Structure 1
């Protein structure tokens, strides 16, 4: 298995794990949904879980990998406001929780770059 293939499958695994977590423990994700979004937070939690599962499937399949990886990069950018909300909401929590919330913010950058790298590695193979 090539390094590119391993990277793609690891990204798909991360997305699938996160997608399943949205259904297994939705309450923790509900709290990150920005209040400006219409509807109930649980709807957004489930919708983002479905999106992550769909992206995982797309990234796992060579035929759809490039498009799905680019969509994944956009998804990671799109969920950034939820991470900002979490950091703001947790600013008065214990230091360990604040650290986790703040660490999620810069973590989005390598996730976006990883997804773009997977897309680039899939060029010409789709």
Structure 2
């Protein structure tokens, strides 16, 4: 299986519609940035996907090492998107799961292959 990094929105959206399991079925394992974990716990609330990620031994959390890149990406993106893109570059991920238009545009510009929730669901259906 290929190495896949996920931003927050695919995790929360798939959990909200009861399809979180397709991530493991399609990709085997996922890598997320610490900022994604922080977003799943934002403001002390329990967001969709939080429990699923906490209980998934097939999801690994990382702190991206290139803080300068994260800071540069933060000029236009939220923390989860910025760290996810930096992490995907560091890990040489074959895919980054990302929904937001600005984040997808940045990811493409940096040579990454973004896939959103719709693409994930279409792949699962196929």
Q: Judging by fraction of residues, say which structure has more helix.
A: 1
Coarse TM-score class (shorter-chain normalised):
under 0.3
Query: Rg: which structure is higher?
Result: 1
Provide TM-score, normalisation by structure 1: 0.26
